[in-house]
Amino acid sequence: MTCLDKVMLDAFLEDQLSFEERQEIQHHLMTCSSCLNRFEQYMDGLDMTDNEEEEWQTEEIVQNVMEKLPAYPLKVLRTIDPQSSVRKNWKKRSVDILKKTTIAVAGLAVIVTLGTAVSPTFASYVSGLYQAVGISSPVIQIKGPYANVGNQVVSLFDEKETDRGILAAAAKGFVKPLDLKATDQGLTVEAKAVLADPLRLTILGSVTKKDGTKIDSLWKDQYSIISNENVDEFREIRLKDKNGNILTPFYKQDVEPFAWTLLPNGENFVIQRDLNNFFDEKNPLPDELVLELRVKRMGDTKGTWNLDIPIDMRPAKAATKTVAINKQFTTPHREKIDLKETRYAPSGTQIIFSTSESSLKETGVRYQLINEQGAAVGSWDDTKSDSEETNVKVIPDISHGGMYNAVNWFEGKRWIHSYVPLDSAQNTTLKLDAVFTKEKAYFQTKLPLSEIEKKPLVATGDGNRFIFRSVTKKSSERGTTYLIKVEGRLAKGISSLSESWKATDEQGDISRIMFFPQTNVQDDGTISISGDLKIISEKKDVKEFTITYDHMIKEQEVDWNVPLKQEK
């Protein structure tokens, strides 16, 4: 569109435009620095014409504007602290503009588009709201082919069991509603929606009895009675191109029976698969695919339920943007971590790394993704589990990293970290602050159980210190479980210990051991741990265990900042 004049600015601020016209102007303001400067000058002019002493009911306006927000579930919000770096005069400008208009959608557009707010609470609310569902701003949404039914498609998915990337793609119109059914033996298998972008395929469906009752056999069988030996008796899932050729990952030529994940989604189910290993530069992603679902048995019921689900990849491929980064970082052990590229797709944003093939000593990283306002919009920590509390906005099912996050071994030294969709127009910066290394451990201590029952036993090794106390025994037909309470403090620079602990009794027999302690960071930066050391022995009366673990994770502090945008 052409640049903005006064007539267009007045119409925009006074809410005299259609929804499509407002969207076009908002997007133009985000991409045209000249018009943005003109808009700021125009607001300065409005500032000077107003009486600064006029009473202003901030909370009333906040409530009025909040009512204009999209009806996303509030429980998914992750509040982001407002940053002091935002220019203070934006608050006054926002207030002045809103006072001169109808406090309608134009007011909200100004606030969201230009990062303004009438209060810090509202700023956090707006920022947290859109980022919680993976949409950075309503003004830069790409309209997918099914945008007119986006809200209805979102409602098909269970909120608690669906990652925010899928919901964001659905809200933007990239999840196609389906009406495909196959009925046999009084049961109907239905495909309701399909998400297909270069990151993954996800099919939402259900199994329903004649009376409308939904059953969960299709997904639950995979975790109960299906095995590698009998999977073909239950179902087949194949991905084909439009010519009927079966597609397999480029790292493997055979069809994997358990490569497709079946999971519950409320009363429905989802079938999903990561596409990162199907297509690359040498194996381009086709425009059209077909997912063949052949269900032969559910529980004890045998039948024939066949669905051929057409998949049009063109809209999502067109909306996917890949930005080459190609920046290298040399670790303290002189290895290379290569930040290759960032991929922005409808259902997620992926950051792709490769690492050197030298000693392979480096086993993980920790970083944050920081937006233009200084707020963290994502984070990754390879020493933590794939949970929202530790790896912010990570989509675990399509993330491959080092150490505990290495869910796809065939990626080798290629790490793919996936997040709910980030805004490609934002100047996001990756701030790497730690590299983790796997160090051999030499810890060993004897635990005479009768003595521990009398008083705590203190043991040290590799600079780590532990206290073992309070032994509890629980016997069963399979043996005895020994629970030993443990407290400890790790040495400076050690972030975690191996999960592979070993317990050897006085006869030299090795018992299974489980230890998943709680961790806390102390004021001096060291890590404290506490929990129950669980030893499962076939013997009913062990006198003494020798405890060992084979390695520790050491943290190497680094400082590397990389903008996730293409250099001009």
Query: Pick from 366, 428, 418, 403: which is nearest to 556 by CA?
Result: 366
Would you put residue 172 in left (φ > 0), alpha (ψ -120 to 50) or beta?
alpha
pLDDT at 18: 58
What is this structure's pTM? 0.69
What residue ranges do the domains of the chain occupy? 6-132, 147-316, 320-439+557-563, 442-549
Q: Scanning the structure block, which residue is given the tokens 């006074």?
A: 14
Beta strands in 77-216 (DSSP E): 175-184, 187-197, 200-209
Helix (H, G, I), strand (E, B) or coil at 405: helix
Amino acid in position 298: M
Candidates 2.60.120, 3.20.14, 2.60.40, 1.10.357; CATH matching 442-549: 2.60.40
The pLDDT profile of the chain, 568 residues, written as one tens digit per residue, is 556 666 667 667 666 665 556 656 765 665 565 666 666 666 655 544 444 444 444 445 555 555 545 444 333 333 333 333 333 343 344 434 433 433 333 444 444 433 333 334 444 444 444 444 444 444 344 578 998 898 899 999 998 899 889 999 999 999 999 999 999 999 999 999 999 999 999 999 999 999 999 999 999 998 889 887 888 899 999 999 989 998 887 665 555 555 788 999 999 999 999 888 788 777 788 999 999 999 999 999 999 999 999 999 999 999 999 999 999 998 888 888 889 999 999 999 999 988 765 444 667 889 999 998 898 889 998 877 544 445 568 888 888 776 544 444 444 567 889 999 998 888 899 999 999 888 889 999 999 999 998 899 999 999 999 999 989 988 877 778 999 999 999 999 998 888 788 999 999 998 878 888 888 889 998 999 999 999 988 888 899 999 999 889 899 899 999 999 754 4
In the prediction, which pLDDT does 258 show?
A: 57
Could you tell me if 483 and 532 are in contact, meaning their C-beta atoms sit under 8 angstroms apart? yes
3-class DSSP state of 79: coil
Classify 320-439+557-563 by CATH class: mainly beta
Instruction: Match domain 147-316 to its CATH number in 2.30.42.10, 3.40.190.10, 3.40.50.1360, 2.60.40.1930.
Output: 2.60.40.1930
- Residues 6 or more apart whose Cβ sits within 8 Å of residue 230: none
Q: Cα separation of 354 and 352, whole Å?
A: 7
Helix pair 120-132, 105-114: axis angle to 10 deg? 80
The reply to whether domains 147-316 and 442-549 share a CATH topology is: yes
The C-alpha atoms of residue 467 and residue 489 are separated, in whole angstroms, by 9
Q: How far is CA 393 from CA 210, 313, 350, in A?
A: 40, 25, 12
Quick check: helix, strand or coil at residue 182?
strand
Give the type of residue at 283. Answer: N
Query: CB pairs under 8 A, 24+ apart, for 466-471?
Result: 468/533
The beta-strand segments (E) located in 198-234 are 200-209
Q: Which residue has the tokens 């399979």?
A: 478
Please calculate the CA angle 149-212-230 and round it to the nearest 5 degrees.
95
State the angle between helix axes of 58-66 and 105-114 in degrees (0 to 180), rounded to the nearest 10. Answer: 90
What angle, 0 to 180 degrees and rounded to 10, lies between the N-to-C axes of helices 6-13 and 19-31? 120
Of the chain, the end-to-end C-alpha distance in Å amounts to 23
- Using CA atoms, how far residue 539 sits from 176, 446, 547, in Å, is 57, 18, 17
Which pLDDT score is estimated for 191? 97
Strand-pairing partners, residue 485, are 469, 532
How many C-beta neighbours within 10 Å does residue 507 have? 8
The dihedral over CA atoms of 321, 324, 329, 335, expressed in degrees to the nearest 10, equals 100
Q: Distance (Å, rounded) from C-alpha 167 to C-alpha 173?
A: 10
Q: What is the pLDDT of residue 51?
A: 45
pLDDT score, position 513: 85
Q: Are 556 and 435 in contact (CB under 8 A)?
A: yes
CA distances to 13, 140, 170 from 22, in Å: 10, 12, 22
Contact 306, 323 (CB under 8 A): no
How many Cβ atoms from other residues are within 10 Å of residue 125's Cβ?
Answer: 20
Give the span between the Cα atoms of 192 and 166, in whole angstroms.
14
